[in-house]
């Protein structure tokens, strides 16, 4: 900064700053130098002006630090100029000579080259620089001690091949550059900088003027020769120059409004706006801008003042745009944060106001009030120990912080405790006749199951209350076990809840989780009570024979407490940790195979076996239940379809031979789906869409032919409508034509869409009647059944009309019901002592042992009947059970095997239409078997007339319904001798 000082000011500053440097003599208060300056005051005007020109040069700071920041340099420069002038004046008037010790800045033609890595140094600005080179640092310290505190600051060029806009992490350290390498990397134009302070390796530089390097003098530390650069001449009154400078000043002021980063610098500018010149204004704008170093170096190298101002204007304009973007980002974030804070404050104020007015309480008080209100209706019936736990948890809830995890655990726990129906029971209906009606409506047959339910209801009526029972319905798939449970709940007027335990391997599903676990939940029974809101529901536990067992425990063992009538009055769930009374709950379990249920669990159940349905029962179910439901689901009326009895019989015998009726329902649905498709195809295209198209066409014609309302035009429109709506245009009903012709003319208007629709309604009804008459009724008979359900799946089980020698029909039980089973024995090889038996047919271990026992017993019986017959001793036999792909096992085929072997040995076939079942001991005793009902049904299905059962199974057979036993001649035997007489008796 250029400053002009008056004579009085100069005198005062010299008195202040040089009094110590130039001591006084004796009692005179003025030193020699000051006495010389006082003598100068009377000099001529010419000498004074010369003195001012020499002394008033100083380089002040323009970075906002004020006069104090450069006071030392001003003193040094002023002292230097004063000494020089005094020396010149005294050379003429006195013999005293003062030698200058501080050279002028322009006298420095060789300077130390300090490399700058980030930005160039502009004249009038300070810059701290870290000097890592020890030799360079020592040279700078030495220069400052010698009162020559000046050096050259030059910007380092970017490495070749690098993008200057992208910072490189691998950029070579400047301190590693030495000598010629450093010299080549420096920009030619730099700044003469005064060393104002050195602390450690931190050197503070203040720029004075521009320099240009010419050549290298020394390499370590780097010293270069420089030329001092001056700005080109310019016209201060140039309008373009003024306008550019004004725009720079205006932009700087705008930046001050938007960005606080420039505030200190711009405030300095506004305080000293009068002292700024055009070159300094350009340097000021470039120095404080955030432009990259190449742009700033371009401003530094520019000596044309107008061009420098233009470049600076570009930089500050860019800064202005960046400031606007910064302001927009800050405003958006501030709005978001302030909006959330404002909403939070308003919510808190609203809560405080509501609480003050008594309109609302805080969260914990509201929760406690909600739980107490929920518990109030059940408080009298709730057990005391449960009430105590609830009160303790409510007190604990008030002491916990709402943000703690324990608060949420306690809140959820109280939610479950207060939601359970403590002591709340639904009113049961003990009307036996109503229950009988409901059970008969939902299910055909199943007399034993219905009888057991009616007994349960009768006992409850006599006692006035009902106790929970555990009933297990076992039977093949599709016999209606699950639906029976739903019907029982409806008959008893109990709430129904079902959950399946098939594949369940986690005990926590039954007993619940501990509350300490994250995401803990109560068990199924607690969830059930919360859902049904009564303490005496009917709970159906499905597929109890398919319980799993994994690393999470044994659910079958966990069910023991739940299904034990002596223990479930105090069932303890791990989550609730308070006893729950389940003694009033009626448990109904379902299973396919009872043998798969663990014995301790099975011991707690009352098993009711559902063996399956015979053909007559399936016929009734298909006709009265399945067909009706399927027909309604498909949208077909009874007048459109007729399924003959023969079709149902063929469907049951040849397609759905299993014990249940689920597959029968699927086949009936398949039939009705195909019938629905057939009816839709015969009905023709969609009539509704055609009517809409016809109305649209008529509207268009009425618009085109406006004003024509003749009866002839009406008739044409009506005829076109008939041709579109009718399914068959050639079969228009004469009745519809008569109705149409009788319509009054004043009610038919071409331009009225509503009247046209009203006039066509009788005609459409007549056409619908005509179409319904033309649709033929679909009849399903045995002859066309295969067109709807495909070819028959099952052939007749009975392979032989009269079983040949060595072949006997047995009766077997399967999970799908009962079936007949042929056992065949043939002679393989004859020879002395070659008696042996080979069994095939994928038999299990039990049946293999049965075949060996049967072989031994058959030899003993043959020896007693025909002592001379050595067939078994000298014959190798092969016993086979057909359907080798099906695994077979079980202790009920012994007597059948013996009969087959004896038939072959005696060369005599067994009695016609005979089937038998039973296991034989080595002494010939017949042991009881299972599945009497299934085997009886299988015998009837195969047309068997005579059946042989062990005498121990007489009780099971007597319990069968009369329609199952009808037409069978049943013999109960204790010893094989009885079977021998029945099988080989002479007709």
Catalytic positions, please?
A: 892, 935
Q: Are 682 and 818 in contact (CB under 8 A)?
A: no
By CB atoms closer than 10 A (0-12, 13-18, 19+), residue 63 is buried
Task: Give the CA distances from residue 668 to residues 548, 621, 646, in Å, rounded to whole numbers and listed in that order.
Answer: 35, 12, 14
Q: Are 33 and 86 in contact (CB under 8 A)?
A: yes
Judge whether 846 is annotated as a binding position. no
Q: Are 661 and 613 in contact (CB under 8 A)?
A: yes
Q: How many CA atoms lie within 13 A of 143 on its CB side?
A: 26
> DSSP 3-state assignment of 968?
coil
Alpha helix positions (H), 684-750? 687-704, 711-725, 734-741
By CB atoms closer than 10 A (0-12, 13-18, 19+), residue 165 is exposed
Distance, CA of 416 to CA of 410 (rounded, Å): 10
Of the candidates 695, 676, 699, 698, the residue with the CA atom closest to the CA atom of residue 687: 695
Distance, CA of 530 to CA of 551 (rounded, Å): 29
Strand partners, 590: 473
Distance, CA of 596 to CA of 165 (rounded, Å): 78
Q: Are 784 and 650 in contact (CB under 8 A)?
A: no
Non-local (6+) Cβ contacts of 410 within 8 A are 393, 396, 397, 400
- SS percent in the chain: helix, strand, coil, step 5: 50, 15, 35
Judge whether 274 is annotated as a binding position. no
Judge whether 476 is annotated as a binding position. yes
Distance, CA of 17 to CA of 6 (rounded, Å): 16
Q: Could you count the other beta carbons within 10 Å of the beta carbon of residue 24?
A: 13
Distance, CA of 194 to CA of 153 (rounded, Å): 10
Judge whether 480 is annotated as a binding position. yes
Token pair of 314 as six digits = 């570009």
Strand partners, 583: none
Phi, psi of 972 (to 5 degrees): -110, 125
Distance, CA of 110 to CA of 763 (rounded, Å): 119
Judge whether 200 is annotated as a binding position. no
| SS3 track for 338-370 | HHHHHHHHHHHHHHHHHHHHCCCCCHHHHHHHH
Of the candidates 289, 285, 288, the residue with the CA atom closest to the CA atom of residue 308: 285
Non-local (6+) Cβ contacts of 919 within 8 A are 850, 891, 892, 893, 894, 895, 926, 927, 929, 950
Judge whether 482 is annotated as a binding position. yes
Q: How many CA atoms lie within 13 A of 443 on its CB side?
A: 28
Distance, CA of 307 to CA of 279 (rounded, Å): 10
The position carrying tokens 């036999």 is 877
Judge whether 907 is annotated as a binding position. no
Judge whether 629 is annotated as a binding position. no
Token pair of 609 as six digits = 């076996």
> In what helix (H) or strand (E) does residue 848 lie, and over which residues does it extend?
helix 845-865
Q: Could you count the other beta carbons within 10 Å of the beta carbon of residue 575?
A: 21
Distance, CA of 877 to CA of 827 (rounded, Å): 5
User: Helices 734-741 and 753-774 meet at what angle, rounded to 10?
Assistant: 160
Distance, CA of 751 to CA of 744 (rounded, Å): 16
User: Helices 976-983 and 894-906 meet at what angle, rounded to 10?
Assistant: 50
Token pair of 454 as six digits = 């009616």
Q: Binding site membership: which residues? A: 475-482
Q: Binding site membership for ATP: which residues? A: 475-482
């Amino acid at each position: 900064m250029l400053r002009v000082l008056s004579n009085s000011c100069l005198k005062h500053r010299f008195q202040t700053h040089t009094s110590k440097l130039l001591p006084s003599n004796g009692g005179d208060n003025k030193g020699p130098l000051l006495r010389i300056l006082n003598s100068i005051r009377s000099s001529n005007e010419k000498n004074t002006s010369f003195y001012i020109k020499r002394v008033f040069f100083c380089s002040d700071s323009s970075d906002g630090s004020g006069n104090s920041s450069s006071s030392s340099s001003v003193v040094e420069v002023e002292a230097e100029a004063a000494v020089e002038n005094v020396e010149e004046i005294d050379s003429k008037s006195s013999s005293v000579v003062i030698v200058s010790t501080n050279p002028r800045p322009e006298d420095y033609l060789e300077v130390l080259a300090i490399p700058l890595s980030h930005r160039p140094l502009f004249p009038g600005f300070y810059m701290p620089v870290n000097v890592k080179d020890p030799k360079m640092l020592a040279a700078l310290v030495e220069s400052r001690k010698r009162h020559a505190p000046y050096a050259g600051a030059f910007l380092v060029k970017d490495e070749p091949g690098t993008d200057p806009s992208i910072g490189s992490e691998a950029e070579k350290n400047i301190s590693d550059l030495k000598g010629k390498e450093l010299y080549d990397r420096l920009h030619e134009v730099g700044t003469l900088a005064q060393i104002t302070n050195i602390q450690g390796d931190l050197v503070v530089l203040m720029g004075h003027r521009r320099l240009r390097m010419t050549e290298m003098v020394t390499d370590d530390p780097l010293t270069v020769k420089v030329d001092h650069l001056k700005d080109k001449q310019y016209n201060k009154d140039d309008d373009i120059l003024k306008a550019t400078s004004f725009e720079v000043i205006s932009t700087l002021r705008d930046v001050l409004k938007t960005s606080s980063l420039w505030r200190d610098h711009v405030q300095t500018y506004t305080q000293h706006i009068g002292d700024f010149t055009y070159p300094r204004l350009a340097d000021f704008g470039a120095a404080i801008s955030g432009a990259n170093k190449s742009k700033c170096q371009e401003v530094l190298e520019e000596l044309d003042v107008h061009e420098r101002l233009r470049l600076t204007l570009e930089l500050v304009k860019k800064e202005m745009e960046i400031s606007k973007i910064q302001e927009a980002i800050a405003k958006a974030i501030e709005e978001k944060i302030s909006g959330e804070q404002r909403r939070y404050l308003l919510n808190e104020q609203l809560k405080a106001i509501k609480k003050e007015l008594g309109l609302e309480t805080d969260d914990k008080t509201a929760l406690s009030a909600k739980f107490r209100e929920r518990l109030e209706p059940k408080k009298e019936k709730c057990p005391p120990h449960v009430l105590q736990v609830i009160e303790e948890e409510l007190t604990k809830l008030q002491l916990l912080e709402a943000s703690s995890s324990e608060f949420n655990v306690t809140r959820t726990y109280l939610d479950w405790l207060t939601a359970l129906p403590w002591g709340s029971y639904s009113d049961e209906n003990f009307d036996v006749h109503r229950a009988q009606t409901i059970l008969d409506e939902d299910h055909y047959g199943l007399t034993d199951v219905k009888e057991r339910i009616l007994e349960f209801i009768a006992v409850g009526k006599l006692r006035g209350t009902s106790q929970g029972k555990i009933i297990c319905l076992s039977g093949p798939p599709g016999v209606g076990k699950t639906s029976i449970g739903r019907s029982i709940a409806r008959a008893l007027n109990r709430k129904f809840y079902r959950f399946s335990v098939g594949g369940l391997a986690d005990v926590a599903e039954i007993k619940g989780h501990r509350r300490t676990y994250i995401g803990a939940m109560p068990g199924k029974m607690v969830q059930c009570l919360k859902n049904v809101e009564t303490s005496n529901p009917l709970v159906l536990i499905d597929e109890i024979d398919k319980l799993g067992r994994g690393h999470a425990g044994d659910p079958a063992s966990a069910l023991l407490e739940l299904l034990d009538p002596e223990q479930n009055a105090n069932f303890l769930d791990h989550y609730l940790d308070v006893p729950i009374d389940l003694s009033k709950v009626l448990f109904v379990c379902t299973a396919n195979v009872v043998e798969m249920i663990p014995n301790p669990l099975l011991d707690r159940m009352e098993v009711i076996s559902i063996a399956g349905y015979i053909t007559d029962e399936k016929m009734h179910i298909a006709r009265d239940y399945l067909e009706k439901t399927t027909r309604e689901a498909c949208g077909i009326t009874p007048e459109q379809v007729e399924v003959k009895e023969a079709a149902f019989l063929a469907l049951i015998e040849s397609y759905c031979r299993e014990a249940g009726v689920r597959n029968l329902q699927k086949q009936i649905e398949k039939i009705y789906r195909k019938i629905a498709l057939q009816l839709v195809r015969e009905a023709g295209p969609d009539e509704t869409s055609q009517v809409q198209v016809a109305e649209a066409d008529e509207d268009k014609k009425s618009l085109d032919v406006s004003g024509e309302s003749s009866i002839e035009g009406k008739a044409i429109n009506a005829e076109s409508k008939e041709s579109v709506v009718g399914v068959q245009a050639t079969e228009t009903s004469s009745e519809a034509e008569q109705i149409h012709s009788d319509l009054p003319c004043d009610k038919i208007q071409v331009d009225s869409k509503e009247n046209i629709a009203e006039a066509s309604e009788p005609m459409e009804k007549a056409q619908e009647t005509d179409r319904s008459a033309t649709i033929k009724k679909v009849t399903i008979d045995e002859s066309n059944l295969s067109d709807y359900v495909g070819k028959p799946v099952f052939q007749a089980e009975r392979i032989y009309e009269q079983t040949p020698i060595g072949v006997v029909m047995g009766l077997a039980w399967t999970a799908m019901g009962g079936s007949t089973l042929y056992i065949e024995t043939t002679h393989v090889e004859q020879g002395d002592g070659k008696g042996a038996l080979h069994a095939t047919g994928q038999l299990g271990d039990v049946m293999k042992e049965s075949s060996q026992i049967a072989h031994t017993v058959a030899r003993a019986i043959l020896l007693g009947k025909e002592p001379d017959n050595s067939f078994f001793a000298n014959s190798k036999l092969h016993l086979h059970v057909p359907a080798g792909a099906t695994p077979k096992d079980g202790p009920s085929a012994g007597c059948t095997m013996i009969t087959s072997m004896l038939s072959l040995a005696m060369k005599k076939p067994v009695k016609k239409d005979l089937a038998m079942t039973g296991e034989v001991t080595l002494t010939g005793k017949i042991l009881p078997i299972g599945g009497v009902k299934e085997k009886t049904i299988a015998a009837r299905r195969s047309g068997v007339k005579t059946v042989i059962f062990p005498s121990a199974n007489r009780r099971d057979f007597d319990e069968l319904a009369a329609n199952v036993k009808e037409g069978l001649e049943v013999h109960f035997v204790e010893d094989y001798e009885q079977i021998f007489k029945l099988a080989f008796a002479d007709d």
